[in-house]
Each structure stands twice: as structure tokens, then as C-alpha cells.
Amino acid sequence: MSERAFLWVTHQVAVTRWVKAEVAARAPHLKFAFSRPGLTTFKVDGGDASPASAVPTSFARAWGLSLGRADAPATALEVIRGFTDQPVRLHVFERDIDVPVDEQDLTVRGRRAAAIDAALRAAAPAAFLPEARARAGDRVIDVVVPHGREPDEPWLIGVHDHDGDAPATRHGPWPGGVDHVPLPAEAPSRAWCKIEEALRWADLEPAPGETCVEIGSAPGGASYAMLCRGVNVLGVDPGEMHAAVTGFAGPHGNRFTHLHMPAAEVPKKALPRAFEWLLCDVNLAPMVALKYIERFVALAHGGLRGAVLTLKLNDDGVFEALPRILARIDKLGARTVRVTQLPSHRSEVVAILTW
């Protein structure tokens, strides 16, 4: 490690103070260095730092070791060549701005990153592997640039290793971890984006014929996403489901079943003996939602492959309770637990578990 190592993390703009507070509590050797909207860096004050290092925060969508700054492809390539002479994966991506992604002009978002990515590849075709999606064992060069609608300013050049063994070092495989997945016209709600982004960030692929139970399923964006992937869905919600979900008929013959009641009232016999996926997106405090999650995990009888649990973080009180919430999630028995905040999230984070 160099004497002056810096780690960087990208995240939503609104949670910058929570990122700093969490890192200060969990890793006192990481000292806040500087921040730009959607990007916070920490000086490593003692301890080790490498491209495999994690930045311990529940809001990190991407993170890594800083290599320096650049303001043009030529200076970026100098920084990158000073670090490696092997072809590497290239991830150019834009920082978040303080506007919910579904209110942004999607023709502007990503335009600057695409232009810089093309310029870097044109200037040094042999320096980068052709595809963006990172594979296990890849070394990834990150170029973090301002959002397409902001004025340009120096880019942060970083590096991370994809993927470490520990859950905390598992990155999303796409530039910036994952980008926003735009809502298709037929999807019943923007929860479709949240589940699709979660599956992409965590590199999970539910398979046709599997079964998913969703707690808080109405009106049905997440259920619709799982149905389109060929998964049978049992949705638990006292609210009404959208017709695109209740009438779903896809090529795999999978169907939606509505358990039209609150989660507390679902009888054991209404659930299949085993199911592979559990989703939860209820507008309840996480400590309350966890009671239902714990019961449904037990009712899956060890058959779960994954769980995607949305945790509403409506205020500082819930943020302060986060360590206790995560400790309860750790006890669900999953092999890996990863927490992030996705592009489509508002006041929430997601815990993604795999067994």
C-alpha cells in the first residue's frame, strides 16, 4: 500500500452524511478526505488498502482504491498505465445527482460517461477488455465522472477487484455497480426497477420454474419482473394487484397467486412446502417487517436461494437502528448478506441475501 492511500465510494447524494457516519463508526482508520455530489473519499490512516478493500457502508453502490484524478483521456491513460500494463475491465460511470432517477432526463444521463468510455477505448484499444460486465477475478479500472447534466470537472480514476471472497468485497458487475434500469410501459409500478437493479447489482438470475413469495406485493412491479423471468409468484398484500400480474400468462406457464391479506394472517398451509425466492417491500418500519421476514424464511424450510429485502429508512431514527436491523438480518442464516442503495431507491436500502 502506498503511504497515501485513498478509498472512494459512490452513493446517492442525499445520504452523504449517513455514509460518513457509518464509515466513521465501522472503520475509524478511514478518515473522510473529500466529497463531490454522489462521491465520498476516505484517507486510509493505518491498516491495509488494496483494490480488494471494502468501504463499509450500507449505501455504497460502487467503491475502490483511488489512483488519482484526470481531466482528459490522455491524462487518465497516464494514471492507468502507471498502475497496470495488462488489459483491464473499464467502467466509466457518472456520479448521482440530487434528483430521483425517474425524474431525470434519461437522454442526458449517461451521455458523458459513454463519450469518455469511447474516447478512452479509441485512444488505447489494447488497454481494455471489450465488454463492460466484470467477471470473477477481473481487475476493473473505474472512471467516475460528473453527471451528464453537470459541468465537467476532474474525473476520479479508481480500481477495484471483482470479486473478493467476503460479501463485503463483492461488487456489482456493471459500471458503477449497476445503472438505472428504465421502467417498461407495461410494468405496474416502479418497484420493477428496484428488483431488476437489485438482481443485476447482485448478479442473481432467478430461473424459470422457481417460486417466489413477495411480502407487500401490490400493485405488482416486482412480482411482474419475477413473472417475466418465468418464476411463479405468491404475493402477500391486503391491497389490490394490477391486472398485468393477476392475468399474467407467459411462455413458461408460471402464474401469480394473490394471498389477499396482511403478512401476519398468512396461514402456513397457504405457502408451498419450499420456495426459492423471498422479496419484501412493505411500507412498514424495518423492525416490524423483520418479524414477517423471519417467519417466512423459516417457512421456506431451507429451500431459499435468495432474498431481496427493501428496508425503509425514513429518518435518522431508522438509520441509527440500522446496526440492530442488520444484526437480525445476519441471523437469517444466509451465506452472504449484502446491502446497497440502488439508483431507483428513495428513502430505502436493500439487503440481498443468498444461501
Ligand X SMILES: C[S@@+](CC[C@H](N)C(=O)[O-])C[C@H]1O[C@@H](n2cnc3c(N)ncnc32)[C@H](O)[C@@H]1O
When asked if residue 196 is in the footprint of ligand X (CB under 6 A), the reply is: no
CB of 225 to ligand X, least distance (A): 8
Nearer to ligand X, 283 or 314 (CB): 283
When asked if residue 40 is in the footprint of ligand X (CB under 6 A), the reply is: no
Q: What is the DSSP secondary structure assignment for residue 268, as one 8-state letter? A: G
SS percent in the chain: helix, strand, coil, step 5: 30, 25, 45
62 touches 159 (CB < 8 A): no
Using the contact rule CB under 6 A, the part of the chain among 61-69, 125-133, 231-239, 321-329 near ligand X is 231-239
CB of 240 to ligand X, least distance (A): 9
When asked if residue 285 is in the footprint of ligand X (CB under 6 A), the reply is: no
Lay out the sheet containing 336-340: strands in order across. 256-259, 232-236, 211-215, 277-280, 306-312, 348-354, 336-340
When asked if residue 189 is in the footprint of ligand X (CB under 6 A), the reply is: yes
* Binding residue for ligand X, selected from 28, 184, 208, 238, defined by CB under 6 A: 238
Q: How many residues sit close enough to ligand X to count as binding (CB under 6 A)?
A: 22
CA torsion sign, 88 to 196 to 9 to 60? negative
Nearer to ligand X, 231 or 236 (CB): 236
Nearer to ligand X, 23 or 241 (CB): 241
Using the contact rule CB under 6 A, the part of the chain among 107-115, 185-193, 325-333, 336-344 near ligand X is 185-193
The CA-atom distances, in angstroms, between 193 and each of 200, 221, 246, 311, 345 are 10, 8, 19, 16, 9
The CA-atom distances, in angstroms, between 42 and each of 6, 47, 199, 330 are 5, 13, 28, 27
Nearer to ligand X, 142 or 237 (CB): 237
Determine if the peptide bond prior to 163 is cis (ω within 30°).
yes
When asked if residue 222 is in the footprint of ligand X (CB under 6 A), the reply is: yes
Nearer to ligand X, 210 or 237 (CB): 237
The CA-atom distances, in angstroms, between 24 and each of 30, 232, 237, 324 are 7, 43, 39, 17
When asked if residue 311 is in the footprint of ligand X (CB under 6 A), the reply is: no
Using the contact rule CB under 6 A, the part of the chain among 2-10, 146-154, 219-227, 313-321 near ligand X is 219-227
Q: How far apart (Å, rounded) are the C-alpha atoms in residues 130 and 117?
A: 11
Residue 259 CA, distance from chain mean position:
28
263 touches 282 (CB < 8 A): yes
CB of 222 to ligand X, least distance (A): 4
* Binding residue for ligand X, selected from 15, 193, 263, 313, defined by CB under 6 A: 263
CB of 346 to ligand X, least distance (A): 10
Nearer to ligand X, 127 or 263 (CB): 263
When asked if residue 281 is in the footprint of ligand X (CB under 6 A), the reply is: yes
Nearer to ligand X, 145 or 215 (CB): 215
When asked if residue 221 is in the footprint of ligand X (CB under 6 A), the reply is: yes
DSSP assignment of 279-324: EE--SS-HHHHHHHHHHHHHHTTT--SEEEEEEE--SHHHHHHHHH
Residues that bind ligand X (CB under 6 A): 188-189, 191, 215-223, 236-239, 262-263, 281-284
